[in-house]
Amino acid sequence: MKKLFLCLFVAACFFSCSDDDEKESIRLTGNTETSQVVYADETNKPEGIKFTATASWTATVKNVTTTRSSEVDWLSLNMYSGDAGEYTLTMTLQPNLTGQDRVAEIIITCSDTVIRIRVEQKGTKADGEKPEGTEKRFVDNIIYKWEDSKDDWRQEIMEFTYNSDGTVKLIANYGDYNNNGIIDDEERSEALEWKTEFRYDTANKKVYTESTEYEEKTETEYIKTGELTLNAEGYAVEAKYESNNDGSVETYQISYQDRYAVAVKAIELDDDSSYPYVEEPKWEAGNLVKVSCKRGSSLFGSSEIIYGDVLNHPDVSIDLNFLIANTEWYDCFCEDGNYGLKVCGLFGKRSKNMMIKEIAVDPYRNESYTYTYENDTKGFITKITVDNNNGGHQSNSNGIYTINYKK
């Protein structure tokens, strides 16, 4: 009898454990550990995070180092959701140039089962030395003085505000009525011409924008809201903008190759989506040398860009090439208006160099623009001069940009 009770007890324990195992809808495989450490100069973990899921699952990344924000900008995953099956999540990390250790937590949820993986990136390399980093420069404001006519020069100031992680929070453009390079209180309240605000939803790979333009004479506000869908590298693969005034919607679908934007489909709500406008960028030696706009076999026009030796510095917060563009197909590439998509690092890799000439290839326009630059001792651009070569459709084509960086 004792043996019978013993057998029944062992069997009950066995089936109880089996039931517990079956209740786990997700489990780690391949010797994946729940605590992982990488060094400051490591940007990936080749072995990845391996697991098996019996149902659909989601993954999020949470900041553990600081309580100021739950968002993590230095660690991303190759995927954030999936159906039942076997998976390997790969991590992409930014080099840690802060000199301090930082910690994030990857949370994988499947049904009622949650797995938490702690990822610590050290502030030093394996040899104990700090990695050599480049200096990040944040544009504070850009003063733009342009020629309305031979005897009339005007001036405006574009200001940039950033989040704690370095992403752009706000772009605001003011008329500088005093031409003194300072936006005083009166100008700040009365001379705001347009602004674009950015809100980041890292967990869902979204960026939301709101662009407001102000009509001085009628005191009318024109507002467009945007929803950007990002890929794993943080680049927009779709940008949808809706006007709050007339309800019109325009959508841009963006394709990438080697992190360069290689095709853009532009679709408006009342258009035939099977016959969209297609913008075709052409890249050579890391520079965007041509942008063409077509619909079917019809070519509307294109912009050709020639580059010099001045670097479009990757450690500057704003892509200055797109900011100063004048020809229609380059300036309006993937967007019209002041949406900020291209200048804020959401549009793939930027051109390696700064352009020295921009040419409109258009049967209705014959215009070109020439650009010259002045740098500081560290190679960062501080002044850009634009010459419209006695042509150009924009009244502000001749101009001077003065770039001021945050201290």
Coil vs helix vs strand at 188: helix
Residue 313: the pLDDT is: 86
Percent of the chain with pLDDT over 90: 46
Helix (H, G, I), strand (E, B) or coil at 194: strand
pLDDT value of residue 144: 92
Which pLDDT score is estimated for 390?
Answer: 67
Q: How much is the average pLDDT of 324-345?
A: 81
Please check whether residue 164 is in contact with residue 68, taking contact to mean a CB–CB distance below 8 angstroms.
yes
**Per-residue tokens: 1:** 């009898």
Binned at pLDDT 50, 70 and 90, residue 237 comes out as: very high
| DSSP per position, 234-250 | S-EEEEEEEETTT--EE
Residue 67: per-residue pLDDT: 40
What is the residue type of 380?
Answer: F
Return d(Cα 314, Cα 309) in angstroms, integer.
14
Q: Is pLDDT at 358 greater than 90 in this prediction?
A: yes
**Nearest CA among 370, 372, 363 for reference residue 391:** 370
* Two structure tokens written together for 326: 């004048």
Q: Which of 274, 277, 340, 333 is nearest to 302 (CA)?
A: 333
**Angle (CA) 246 249 251, round 5°:** 160
Stretch 311-334: mean pLDDT, rounded? Answer: 88
- Those residues whose C-beta lies under 8 Å from the C-beta of residue 21, and which sit 6 or more positions away, are none
Give the pLDDT of residue 403.
Answer: 97
Say whether 162 sits in a helix, a strand or coil: strand
pLDDT at residue 103 is higher than 90:
yes
- What DSSP character marks residue 324? H
Distance of CA 42 to the CA centre of its chain: 22
- Res. 79: pLDDT tops 80: yes
Cα of first residue to Cα of last residue in the chain, in angstroms, is 84
Please, are residues 121 and 38 in contact by the beta-carbon 8 Å criterion?
yes
pLDDT score at 23: 67
Higher pLDDT, 250 or 199: 199
Strand order in the sheet with 26-28: 26-28, 49-53, 85-89
Average pLDDT, the chain: 84
The set of residues, in sequence order, having a beta carbon less than 8 Å from that of 309 and lying 6+ positions away, is: 353
- Domains of the chain by start residue, with CATH: 25-121 (2.60.40.10), 139-405 (2.40.160.190)
- Asked if residues 107 and 119 have their Cβ atoms less than 8 Å apart, the reply is no
How deeply is 41 buried, as exposed, middle or buried, from its count of CB atoms within 10 A (0-12, 13-18, 19+)?
A: buried
The pLDDT of residue 206 is above 90: yes
Q: CB-based contacts of 360: which residues, under 8 Å, 6+ apart?
A: 301, 303, 327, 328, 329, 366, 367, 368
Angle subtended at Cα 396 by Cα 401 and Cα 365, rounded to the nearest 5 degrees: 125
pLDDT, mean of residues 333-343: 75
Share of the chain above pLDDT 70, in %: 84
Give tens-digit pLDDT for 1-42: 545 454 544 455 444 444 454 568 999 999 999 999 999 888
Yes or no: say if 53 and 26 are a contact pair by the CB < 8 Å rule: yes
Mean pLDDT, residues 160-165:
90
Tell me the HSE value of 75 on the side-chain side, using a 13 A CA sphere. Answer: 34
CA 323 to chain centre: 15
In contact, 52 and 27? CB cutoff 8 Å: yes
Which amino acid makes up residue 249? Answer: V
Q: Check residues 300 and 144 and name the one with the higher pLDDT.
A: 144
- Residue 345: name the closest of 235, 218, 257 by CA: 235
Query: Mean per-residue pLDDT for 236-242?
Result: 93
With contact defined as beta carbons under 8 Å apart, do 49 and 61 qualify? no
Pairing relation of β-strands 35-38 and 113-121? parallel
